[in-house]
Structure 1
Amino acid sequence: MSSGPVADGVRVGATVTAEIVLTDDPRALRTQARFGGPRVIVDAAVEAIEMGGRRHAVSVPVVVLGSGDGWQGLLPSQRLRVRGRLASADRPGLVAGMLLVRGRPLILGGPNHVQRIAGVLRAGLRTASDVLPADQSGLLPGLVVGDVSRMDGKVEADFEDAGLAHLLAVSGANLAIIAGAAVALGRVVYMPLPVRAVLAAAAMLAFAVVARPSPSVLRALLMGLVAAIALGTGRSRDGLAALSAAILLLILFEPSLARSYGFALSVCATAGILVLAPRWRDRLAGRLPRWLSEAIAVPAAAQAAVAPVLVLMSGEVSLAAVPANLLAGPAVAPATLLGFVASLVAPLHAEAASWVVRPAGVAVGWIIMVADWAARLPYGAVPWPGGVVGIGLLGAVAVLLVALLRSPLGRWAACAVAAGALVAFLTIGPSVAAWPPARWLLVACDVGQGDALVIAAGPGKGVVVDTGPDGTQVDRCLRDLGVREIPLLVLTHPHADHVGGLAGAFRGRRVGAVAMGVQTRAAPAVDRLSADIARHGVPEWRVSPGQWWSFGPSLLTVLGTAAGEISGGLGDEAAVNNASVVLHVRWAAGSALLSGDIETEAQAALLSGGLPRADVLKVPHHGSARQDSAFLSSVGARAALISVGADNGYGHPAAPTVSRLTWAGMRVYRTDRSGDLAVIATASGSLSVLPRGPPAR
């Protein structure tokens, strides 16, 4: 995939016309294109490409990032013609590149018969789930068939933090539940053993069709069919041999799976359950009931087996995963069975399907509650060195633990250390918690390429300035800060990297009012924002220079909002940036200037109108190159905060801007390198910046 027409086009960023075949369902992105256009991401195979006046027949996998209408509802195996730009992908070696498409695709052919049936069944499950609360209706299809298209962002983030994300990847556990139910049904009606095996195989094949043949589904299906053959012939089943055969066949069929983290996680988890879980269960059975021994051994073995892969992926070790899986596990089987039955019933009788999913909602609600609890646990995920060093250290710790636990004295010592750590955590932990820091006044949340700032407004309260591109990230930041009420939410300007996470700020919090500036150049985007705010029943204010508010320790003053009129012949985006709401925030210990995305024209206008000095500057426009040197130096700040995403593609922050800030006497702090940034009041009555440190996730 490193050679050929597509690879050549990726290297030069060529604009091409391509015929593609979808290999997965389009997934909607929560972040939208600028000014609110919908975006989707979908895996596809390029079958033909027109570039430089020539047509090439190819067959290479790509990731398609589409914006605009016409993508939702498309199914795998559909053939499309699109026009877009080729770019490098974030999964080198697995796909040839990314195809960035703007506009509606032209449909050349419909899906095949199997995918059409699967689409109807999946859509039926989604429709039947509408009778459940929003978080449950989004999760149930994810648990049953891996359909996360409507999953709530907070729930998805909680699953990741709690070590439950594997429940959303359809795998052997789902097929085992379906096959087990089919075998049990056959036994109830006195079917002979071979017939029960055929029934189990048919149920697994039907489920694989509905769930789409992803690598984990195909692996589990191959293992299940081997087990069904063994059941029907009365021969003993060797799970490890079946797993090995499935891995070999899948890699021979699709070699790129050898470099897939998802496939590695699925294989390691299954191997852990097959190899480690029986031994651990038998050891625990002498001290605990057998059902409890198995309930503890299975998630513990799976987590131990995937730990090395997780260290390579994310540089962390999850401590919350085992208890979370232990608590959530009993609810997975009823949710999966009832959801699968509902997907089969829905095309025949929608009302009956809705009644089937109601009890499934109880099970799903329990899983959501467990995920929320586990995600809130302090130190639920412990940072760990990545790469080969991290795996070696993890192996050394594992060997030490095994050696320690083999002797009675070692077990007593381990119990004593664990008890001491628990007592220390319960008594000392809350008072030395690293985050949020004591006396915090302002926090620049790490939300990637975007802005989200929180200003202290009293216990449990915070004024929010912008919400970043993704509601999950800003919600997580507010939750970590303990913010339960937002007396004022300021949206500096209606670009998606500043307002895309609005729903996350509203999630579970009372918002007093939303303030925006005057934006004549972005009327459609402002109208959409106003409609969204109105749906939450919150008043909307249009602010002007000179307005001020006092919340807790913070005094906020509006300096500028309508600089777009001075942008001259600049494009609309620059005009909207220049019309950002600019705030000056004062505390007893100092002050800060929050400058939105204003560019050189608005900076010069503010400077000519009299710019108050500040101790901390939120650098405009993520540190872009369009900065007025006189403006930066006139602020007189000692610290500069840059909210920016790693490898953002815009070149932010620009090297000349960082140099200007340094020459102006500011110490530069960046969220892409230091995570959340907190401005705190020191004991001496001055301000200091405390970085949280780059999060493992």
Structure 2
Amino acid sequence: MLVLVLIDPELARSYGFALSALATAGILILAPRWRDRLSRRMPRGLAEPLAVSAAAHVACAPVLAMLGAGVSLVAIPANLLAAPAVGPATLIGVSAAVVAPMSLPVARLIVIPAGVAVGWITGVARFCAQVPYAVIGWPNGLAGVALLFAAVIAGVIVLRRPLPRRIAAAALAGIALTVIGMRIFAPSWPPRGWLFVTCDVGQGDGLALFAGRGQAVVVDTGPDPRLMDGCLRDLGIDTVPLLFLTHPHADHIDGLPGVLRGRAVGTIVISPDSDGEERRLLPGRTPRTAGVGDVWSIGPLTLAVLGPLSTVRVTARDSGTTVNNASIVMLARWPDLSVLLCGDVEIEAQHELVAAGVPQAQVLKIPHHGSAHQDPAFLAAVHARIAIASVGADNDYGHPAPSTIAELAHLGERVYRTDRDGDVAVIHSRGGLAVVTHRP
């Protein structure tokens, strides 16, 4: 480790290198003692890999907690399943690398079994990552590390005495039964028949519109790539034929790398009033500009562009209201559902839409996260039954505004908000429209 850091000092700042060093230290320092203790109660052939996996996981846990990766409950069994393939993958891969400069065709043959071994490792990783409740949410930063150390110390104290050990085992069994019960009786996710999902991406917008099996049109991407990627992954989306970025504000576009991660993404559409701020997140891609009257049809979904009606080129230096009013406004339709998507349009743009004849829709994505800058005539003209605010918990803007919520309630609309409800899905069932909420 010291030699590598001397050769490449940048490794000292690499979390991947730190995790490798800690895992190695755990295996060298902790694993032998744990192996000897476990060998008293199980065959040595099982005790050794179990001790190695547990030692590596425990040594890495503080850094993982600091990075906000949570505390994994499946890391040790996942490592045990993956371990038999690590040696063959490494040895065969190195052999192929040595042979390749001399004979590439031979190296291609040699590397085939290495690919099978690597495929097993990645398959184990993907499978275990999808296990329900595989990761316990944990505070990140130094506070998370301190809390983890305190929990480990408390656990060691409890496990050393018979009575506390029995109490802890009973408590864990009760928690496990409760979690299993919640899993069995909770609505499945994604709900069958979902058409429109407002992802819980914090203070921002990230919307998924069903366009066929494994496909969704995405409208805005929120501020955090991880949250947007997680929402689409939970929905089983691997293809995004259309991606709309309604206006160039960070809470609508900075999550774009999360949509692009591991997915086939087709046409990307931006506001005609944008100065192209979105292009910084689109290396090598040329977005298309939306135009009023544009219509897209993908599978059961039809999208019609209604705005922006004013043509004003906006830049990052313009006021928030000016940029918000440059938002793309669209009506999304399926055979059994219509949704009005409003970006962050404020009162001025809403006036224009009312004057032009805003269409009615069953669902309203409340403009600008439910801010107080709403035109009551616009909200009334939509005649929505369901209104959804995409909003972050404890945000500094006071969204959604009590006045906006009160106005929507007065209009008889059911209001859902992602800060309280999590992901919000609108589905069509035999009984008509329904809403299913989900907290990841």
Same structural fold, with TM-score higher than 0.5 when normalized by the shorter chain: yes
Match of 2:261 in 1: 507
Question: How far apart in 2 are the matches of 1:654 and 1:556?
Answer: 29
1:144 and 2:17 aligned: yes
Task: Quote the Cα distance in structure 1 between the aligned partners of 2:399 and 2:9.
Answer: 41
Q: Residue in 2 aligned with 1:27?
A: none
Aligned to 2:343: 596
What does residue 42 of structure 2 align with? 284
3-state DSSP of counterpart to 1:523: coil
Displacement after TM superposition at 1:367 (Å): 6.5
CA distance in 1, matches of 2:402, 2:264: 40
| CA displacement, residues 82-129 of structure 1 (integer Å, 9 cap, x when unaligned) | xxxxxxxxxxxxxxxxxxxxxxxxxxxxxxxxxxx9697332689xxx
What is the one-letter code of the residue matched to 2:25? L
Aligned-pair CA distance for 1:609: 0.9
Aligned position for 1:689? 435
Map 1:557-576 onto structure 2 (within 5 A). 557-563=304-310, 565=312, 571-576=318-323
Counterpart contact for 1:515–1:541, Cα < 8 Å: yes
Preserved contact between residue 452 and residue 465 of structure 1 (Cα < 8 Å): yes
Letter of the 1:552 partner, please give it.
G
Displacement of 1:674: 1.6
- Rounded to whole Å, the distance in 2 between the matches of 1:292 and 1:459 is 43
Q: Tell whether 2:292 aligns with 1:525.
A: no
Q: Matched residues in 1 for 2:57 and 2:127: separation?
A: 19
Preserved CA contact (<8 Å) 1:467 1:474: yes
Matches within 5 A, 1:350-499: 370-381=124-135, 399=166, 434-499=188-253
After the TM superposition, which residues 41-60 of structure 1 pair with which residues of structure 2 at under 5 Å, given as runs?
Answer: none
* Structure 1 CA distance for aligned equivalents of residues 347 and 422 of structure 2: 27
Aligned-pair CA distance for 1:492: 0.6
- Which residue of structure 1 lines up, in the alignment, with residue 25 of structure 2? 175
Conservation of the 8 A alpha-carbon contact between 2:25 and 2:59: no
Secondary structure of 1:457's counterpart equals strand
Deviations 1:22-43 (A, max 9, x none): xxxxxxxxxxxxxxxxxxxxxx
Question: Cα distance, 1:478 vs. partner?
Answer: 1.2
CA RMSD of aligned residues (A): 4.6
**Aligned match of 1:540:** 287
Q: CA deviation at 1:374?
A: 2.0
1:5-84 correspondence to structure 2 within 5 Å: none
SS of 1:512 mapped into structure 2: strand
Partner Cα separation in structure 2 for residue 119 and residue 470 of structure 1: 35
* Shift of residue 691, structure 1, vs aligned partner: 0.4
- Larger Rg, first or second structure (1 or 2): 1
Structure 1 residues 434-491: Cα deviation after superposition (integer angstroms, max 9, x where no partner): 1110000001111112111110101111111111112222121111111121111111
User: Separation in 1 of the partners of 2:340 and 2:292?
Assistant: 14
The one-letter amino acid paired with 2:194 is: W
Question: Which residue in 2 is equivalent to 1:638?
Answer: 385
Counterpart Cα distance in 2 of 1:588 and 1:556 = 12
* Residues 1:547 and 1:691: Cα distance change in structure 2 (over 3 Å): same
Residue 353 (structure 2) pairs with residue 586 (structure 1) = no
> Is 1:606 aligned to 2:320, yes or no?
no
**Alpha-carbon deviations, 1:496-554, whole Å to 9, x = none?**
111112222122222221112212xx52514435x53xx25xx6321111211222222
The 3-state SS of whatever aligns with 1:466 is strand
Decide whether aligned partners of structure 1 residues 518 and 319 sit closer, same or farther in structure 2, where only a CA change above 3 A counts: same
Which of 617, 624, 643 is 2:364 aligned to? Answer: 617
Amino acid at match of 1:523: D
Q: Is the 8 A contact 2:215 2:241 kept in 1?
A: yes
Structure 1 residue 276, shift from structure 2 partner: 7.0
Listed one character per residue, the Cα deviations across residues 250-288 of structure 1 (whole Å, up to 9, x for unaligned) are xxxxxxxxxxxxxxxxxxxx7xx7997754443122xxx
Q: Which residue of 2 aligns with 1:211?
A: none
Tell me, yes or no, if the aligned pair for 2:204 and 2:391 is still in contact at 8 Å.
yes
Residue pair 1:282, 1:293 contacting (<8 A) in 2 also: no
Return the alpha-carbon distance in structure 1 between the equivalents of residues 205 and 394 of structure 2: 16
CA pair 582-649 structure 1, distance change in 2 beyond 3 A: same
Amino-acid identity (%): 46
- Classify 1:632/1:480 alpha carbon distance in 2 versus 1 (closer, same or farther; 3 Å): same
Residues 486 and 403 of structure 1: CA distance in aligned 2, closer, same or farther (over 3 Å): closer
Question: How far has the Cα of 1:647 moved from its partner?
Answer: 2.4
Listed one character per residue, the Cα deviations across residues 4-32 of structure 1 (whole Å, up to 9, x for unaligned) are xxxxxxxxxxxxxxxxxxxxxxxxxxxxx
Secondary structure of the equivalent of 2:419?
helix
In the alignment, is the contact (CA less than 8 A) between 1:561 and 1:580 conserved in 2? yes
1:327 to 1:433, Cα distance in 2 relative to 1, 3 A:
farther
Partner of 2:10: 123
Matched, 1:658 2:396: no
**550-559 vs 645-654, which moves further:** 645-654
Give the TM-score normalised by the residue count of structure 1.
0.47
- Does the C-alpha gap of structure 1 residues 564 and 670 become closer, same or farther in structure 2, counting only changes over 3 Å? farther
1:122-167, CA deviations, whole angstroms, 9 ceiling, x for partnerless residues?
A: 32689xxxxxxxxxxxxxx43323xxxxxxxxxxxxxxxxxxxxx4
Contact kept? 1:543, 1:561, Cα under 8 Å: no
Gap regions ≥5 residues in structure 1: 1-116, 127-140, 146-166, 181-223, 225-269, 336-360, 405-416
For the 8 Å contact 1:642–1:669, the answer to whether it is kept is yes
Partner letter of residue 40 of structure 2? Answer: D
Change (3 A) 1:640 1:402: closer
Distance 1:641 1:297 in 2: 49
Q: 3-state DSSP class of the match of 1:662? A: helix
The equivalent residue for 2:77 is 323
The CA deviation string for residues 297-351 of structure 1, in whole angstroms up to 9 with x for no partner, is 45458989999xx99x99x98542332233456899999xxxxxxxxxxxxxxxx
Tell me the TM-score normalized by structure 2. 0.72
Distance 1:507 1:590, change over 3 A: same
Give the direction of change, closer, same or farther, for the CA distance of 1:299–1:123 in structure 2 (3 Å limit): closer
**Structure showing greater relative contact order (alpha-carbon pairs closer than 8 Å, 6 or more residues apart):** 2
Change (3 A) 1:332 1:622: farther
| In structure 2, C-alpha distance between the alignment counterparts of 1:122 and 1:365, rounded to whole Å | 32
SS in 2 for 1:513: strand
Whether the 8 Å contact between 2:309 and 2:352 is mirrored in structure 1 is no
Cα distance change of structure 1 residues 403 and 497 upon mapping to structure 2, 3 Å threshold = closer
- Quickly say closer, same or farther: Cα 1:442–1:176, change in 2 above 3 A: closer
| 1:141-220 matched pairs, under 5 angstroms | 141-145=14-18, 167=19, 171=22, 173-175=23-25
